[in-house]
Amino acid sequence: MRSGSTEHEHAMVRAAELYYNDGLLQSEVADKLRLSRWKVGRLLEEARSSGLVEIKIHHPQSRRRDLEKKLTEQFDCKEAVVVESQASKPATMALAARAAADFLVELRPEPEIVGVSWGHTVAAIADQLPDGVFRDPMIVQLNGGANSLTDTVDAGSIIRTIAGKSRAPRTALLPASAIVQDRDLAQRLLEDRNIARTLQVASQADVALYSIGVLSPQSVLRRTNCVTADEVVELQEAGAIGDILGHYIDRHGRVVNFDLDQRTIGLDLDRLANIPKSIAVAVGEEKSGITRATLYAGLCSVLVTESNVAERVLSGNAL
């Protein structure tokens, strides 16, 4: 039976029907078709790889492997995790947070240095991590924080949550605002021994976990007064559509407003892109544009998102 022949194709179809539709064991399929179990295994493997057989798991927590494959093929992204969009954003966020937590748990080798940003998305992921998730990790803050957060989504709380679920953890905080008032102050802070040491550790992280931010008057950086209302307008006029660790970028992934960027305290985008597992998380269709820009610029090696965002990014209809 020559590969590619009509006889071979027929055997592949019959093997798939008997195994997947009728529920026979591979040994039973082999007996019926008078083939070896090895040959049946090869036929079933070929049926799946060729697209003849498509396996779908009908459960809210199942991932969209079709969209994941398209994202990694279309962009310079090593891995993608796509959950099915739900009727409400909180429900979708819960699924994405669980999927991101599962991804972190399953990393091999286990990361030694874990860098994290802050905000509701990263906090939700930290909450989903199981006890004993990491052994002897260094958990480090990737970018400066904010002083006016009303709940436990600040970097300190997130790092404490992850540390509390790890064995023998060490932590490194970044005691500065995400964006400060002037460049001189930013330069002095970046030269501070403790801040410089934290950012150096962050640049050596095996994993960086952060949420993609959209530019709007309701964004967390605006609501926490890291940027002013006038600066939001200036950023919009300059073409910015969102931020990565407080660095505002346009649709091509280029930094805009260099004065503001020089006042940003955190890991720079070049060093972020060089981290082996740079995990960007995007939930909400309003983030489709900044997600596409992040992928286009190669700022993440892993994307965790929802199906509505993935479909918009792939179609080019990103908001």
Q: Are 278 and 255 in contact (CB under 8 A)?
A: no
137 and 251 part of one domain: yes
- Asked if residue 60 belongs to a domain, the reply is no
Q: Looking at the structure, tell me whether residues 28 and 93 fall in a common domain.
A: no
pLDDT in tens, the chain (319 residues): 567 688 888 888 888 888 988 889 999 999 888 889 999 999 999 988 888 887 766 666 678 889 999 999 999 889 999 999 999 999 999 999 999 999 999 998 999 999 999 999 999 999 999 999 999 999 999 999 887 666 778 899 999 999 999 999 999 999 899 999 899 999 999 999 999 999 999 999 999 999 999 999 988 888 888 899 999 999 999 999 999 999 999 999 999 988 899 999 999 999 999 999 999 999 999 999 999 999 999 999 999 999 999 999 999 776 6
153 with 216, same domain: the answer is yes
pLDDT at 74: 93
Domain count, the chain: 2
Q: What is the pLDDT of residue 158?
A: 95
Residue indicated by tokens 């939930």: 283
Same domain? 141 vs 212: yes
Let me know whether 211 and 90 are in one domain. yes
Q: Kindly state whether residue 176 falls inside one of the protein's structural domains.
A: yes
Note down the domain range covering 220.
65-315
Question: Is 55 among the domain residues?
Answer: no
Shared-domain flag, residues 116 and 17: no
DSSP letter assigned to residue 286: G
Q: CB neighbours (10 Å) of residue 316?
A: 7
In a domain, residue 177? The reply is yes
Residues 180, 279 within the same domain: yes
CATH code of the domain in which 16 resides: 1.10.10.10
CATH code, domain with 193? 3.40.50.1360
Cβ neighbours of residue 247 under 8 Å, at least 6 residues apart? Answer: 255, 261, 264, 266, 268, 269
Q: Where are the beta strands (DSSP E) in the chain?
A: 79-83, 113-116, 138-141, 170-172, 207-211, 213-214, 242-244, 247-249, 277-282, 302-306
Residues 222 and 308 in one domain: yes
Please give the model's pTM, rounded to 2 decimal places.
Answer: 0.83
Tell me: do 37 and 171 sit in the same domain.
no
Q: Do 180 and 251 share a domain, yes or no?
A: yes
Local structure of 195: helix, strand or coil: helix
| 288 domain-assigned | yes
